[in-house]
Amino acid sequence: MNTSATSLKAFGIYLILIPGLGLMLIPEFILDLFSLHHGNSFWLARMLGLLAFIVGVYYTIAARHKLRELYIPSVILRYFAAFFMGVLWLTGEVEVMILLFAVIDVCGATWTLMTLRHRMDT
């Protein structure tokens, strides 16, 4: 079933696995894979991974319990995250590969938004 909860759960699992566990456990590989420059110290990437992991867990809990009050804020914040990543790229602070993460955020937010609109129409 293509529901808002399903879209949040899918996005939560993505956050847990790719930026979450990926950056916590293998930060150099993940950063190199996406051509994101880094120094020799990975503690900041690991902390970012930890935060992504935590947010991903919150998304999956919100989906499991159908916390509808969080659906619209999640859409807005994912669009904002994509916008912010775009600004970072436009200002030359990060490489173009960051836009892949932005696209994932936009796709996830749009999926949730479309399921919310579909629910309103029915």
- The DSSP line for the chain is ---HHHHHHHHHHHHIIIIIIIHHH-HHHHHHHTT----S--HHHHHHHHHHHHHHHHHHHHHHTT-GGGHHHHHHHHHHHHHHHHHHHHTTSS-TTHHHHHHHHHHHHHHHHHHHHHHHH-
pLDDT in tens, 46-92: 999 999 999 999 999 999 999 999 999 999 999 999 999 999 999 99
What's the domain count of the chain? 1
Q: Is 62 exposed, middle or buried (0-12, 13-18, 19+ CB in 10 A)?
A: buried
122 confidence band (pLDDT: 50, 70, 90): very low
- What is the per-residue pLDDT for 120? 61
pLDDT in tens, 5-39: 999 999 999 999 999 999 999 999 999 988 888 88
- What is the per-residue pLDDT for 2? 65
Q: Which residue has the tokens 């950063």?
A: 31
**Structural domain that includes position 35:** 4-121
